Amino acid sequence: MATAVNECNSFTCPICLEKLKSPKSLPCLHTFCELCIGEFILTTERRTGHKLSSYPCPVCRSVVTPNNPEDETLQWASSLPQNVTLSAQMDQSESTKQECHLCKRQNIQTLATHWCRDCSEAFCDGCLRLHNLMKISTGHNVVKIKEIRECASGGEPNFNLISDKCSVHYSKILEAFCFDHQELCCLLCLTVRHRKCEKVQAFEEMPNLDTDRFNSFESELNKVKAKVEQLIEEKKNEYETLDSSFKSVELAAITTAASIKDRVDILLSSFLKELNISLDEQTAVFEGKLKTADNLLSCVISMINTTKSVQDYGSINKKCIHLIRTKPELKSKIVETSKLLNEESVEEARVIIDNTIHQVEKADVV
């Protein structure tokens, strides 16, 4: 499933942080929505106050010179080359189907039609007949994949759920949890590393992971999701305040400079240059914070979907593993995101602006 996550990230526009629409590539190979890069070019031109001859890449700041600089600036984005390769990969990703696990082990590609909740594996019609003939799997709970997809409210279900393979002994299945070391254990782990531990419990001996417990965890995830969404909205409002502050300061600086003589015109030019540099720096900071918050939101949504899938289709082992692993991971990501976001960038920007204005006001008149 890691591959699918990386593909989704590569299909995301770095500006709007949503799925790419009409992807356009710059010479530095960074790709953006045509509308997003067009608005970025126009915004850059408005800040400079004159017709552009080039513009920076929003990601790496590489200078981009348009092939048709004589055209209107709003036409530059449409003349950029289409990222055909990425468009094809996006189309292919959307059409991906679930393969039969048994056929896949034999290097055969076959679309699966059924899902066994007890085995946590997908089967085609032929492999399903073999599965049902086996004495050990005759009574397993098997459902049609088509019915699962029709009932799924959070998009395509994750058929792989949570891996129950031991991270130390890859051929072994996780069967217990050591409370002394806070570690998931296979039988070999228990024998080699945890035989002297006092508090070790097999998954079968743990309290039943009933619906109420999973609903409680899902409710906790939804609360975190709501807080992250609120945090994103607050940061967007802070950015709007920052942008408004810069525009107000720019207007005040121009009005002040109009009453001063020739030398102040030179100082004004220097001030506006520093102002734009400061705005670019603060914009980059806020974009980084929004991206951090969006990443946390994506992680929480993924946890919600996985929690629902594990609750509906996972074995007791996988339910235990999911709760034990996911809660610390959620706490860690929340703490990490909070540290990155607890910075008062708007006030810092105002201090920089006030100091620059003070230098202009104190300038000697020629």
CATH assignment of the domain containing 40 = 3.30.40.10
Confidence (pLDDT) at 155: 46
106 and 86 housed in the same domain: no
Domain end point (choices 94, 128, 148): 94
202 and 63 housed in the same domain: no
127 and 259 housed in the same domain: no
177 and 310 housed in the same domain: no
CATH assignment of the domain containing 305 = 1.20.120
The residues, any chain, with a CB within 8 Å of residue 271's CB and separated by 6 or more, are 253, 356, 357, 359, 360
Report if residue 230 sits inside a domain.
Answer: yes
129 and 37 housed in the same domain: no
200 and 282 housed in the same domain: no
Q: Which helix (H) or strand (E) covers residue 214, if one does?
A: helix 211-258
CATH assignment of the domain containing 135 = 4.10.830
Report if residue 366 sits inside a domain.
Answer: no
237 and 328 housed in the same domain: yes
59 and 138 housed in the same domain: no
Confidence (pLDDT) at 127: 93
86 and 139 housed in the same domain: no
Residue reference for tokens 């109420």: 212
Give the integer Cα–Cα distance in Å for 14 and 291. Answer: 9
SS3 readout for 267-333? HHHHHHHHHHHHHHHHHHHHHHHHHHHHHHHHHHHHHHHHHHHHHHHCCHHHHHHHHHHHHHHHHHH
**Considering its fold, how many domains does the chain have in total?**
4
What is the pTM assigned to this prediction?
0.35
Order of strands, sheet of 183-186, starting from the edge strand that comes earlier in the sequence: 183-186, 174-178, 200-202
Domain end point (choices 58, 79, 94): 94
Helix, strand or coil for residue 349?
A: helix
Confidence (pLDDT) at 365: 45
Write the DSSP symbol of residue 12.
Answer: B
pLDDT > 70 in the chain, percent: 81
Report if residue 26 sits inside a domain.
Answer: yes
136 and 180 housed in the same domain: no
Give the integer Cα–Cα distance in Å for 116 and 42. Answer: 54
Residue-range definition of the domain harbouring residue 36: 2-94
Report if residue 299 sits inside a domain.
Answer: yes
70 and 132 housed in the same domain: no
In this predicted model, what pLDDT tens digit does every residue of 172-231 receive, in sequence order?
788 899 999 999 999 888 888 888 898 998 887 876 666 677 788 888 999 999 999 999
pLDDT below 50 — which residues of the chain? Answer: 1-8, 94-95, 152-161, 365-366
50 and 186 housed in the same domain: no
- Residue 41 is encoded by which pair of tokens? 């070019």
